Amino acid sequence: MIFAVCYAIYMDWRSEKLESQLDARQEAVYGELLEGMDSLESKLYKLSLLPNSAKTPELLADIWRQTGELAGYFSAVSLGAEIDGQVLSFLNQSGDYAKQLFLQAASGGQLEEQDAGQIEQMQNACEKLREKLEHVGNKDRKFRIADFIDFSF
């Protein structure tokens, strides 16, 4: 009987410790997610200002890489199945588009006015998403992204 009580106390302590470690890890990933969104928004903004500069291929490669990285962070911090799907779709589409533009720019092609418009839309969506994530508490991340961001670009 004493053993069972001691074991139950130990398991309760261990459970709390594991939960605390999980919360700390989620908080760290959430912080990385916010920093990554800020960085992505900054790169999209730079690209929208100078869509055909010498830095264009480098910026597009960074955007392509970073969208994949952010998709990994979103996978680790669940916001709900519907939201996760929308955000991951947005990141995948943005990454695919950046890849397409990167290949075009790396082969000497120029970004067109339509591309600059889409980059600006991506930057605006990224900004709104980052702002919303900053306002959402770590424990209460349930919100409808589709209510404030148009993911079609």
Mean pLDDT of 88-96: 90
Please state, as a whole number, how many other Cβ atoms lie within 10 Å of the Cβ of residue 25: 12
Residue 44 token pair: 């999209």
Instruction: Read off the pLDDT of residues 118-144 as tens digits, 9 standing for 90 and up.
Output: 999 999 998 888 887 777 654 454 444
Instruction: Please say whether the beta carbons of 139 and 39 come within 8 A.
Output: no
Q: 89 pLDDT exceeds 90?
A: no
pTM (predicted TM-score): 0.75
Q: Which amino acid is at 131?
A: E
Look at residue 134 in the predicted model and tell me its pLDDT.
77
More confident residue, 28 or 137: 28
Look at residue 93 in the predicted model and tell me its pLDDT.
92
Mean pLDDT of 41-60: 92
| CA atoms of 33 and 132, how far apart (whole Å) | 12
Look at residue 51 in the predicted model and tell me its pLDDT.
87
Instruction: Please say whether the beta carbons of 34 and 132 come within 8 A.
Output: no
Q: Please, how many CA atoms are within 13 Å of residue 67, restricted to the half-sphere of its CB?
A: 23
Residue 137 token pair: 């508490």
> What share of the chain has pLDDT > 70, as a percent?
82
DSSP 8-class letter at 146: G
Distance of CA 149 to the CA centre of its chain: 14
Mean pLDDT of 18-40: 79
Look at residue 148 in the predicted model and tell me its pLDDT.
44
Look at residue 62 in the predicted model and tell me its pLDDT.
96
Mean pLDDT of 3-16: 75
Sign of torsion over alpha carbons 98, 146, 29, 135: positive
Closest CA to 36 of 8, 5, 14, 69: 69
Q: 24 pLDDT exceeds 80?
A: no
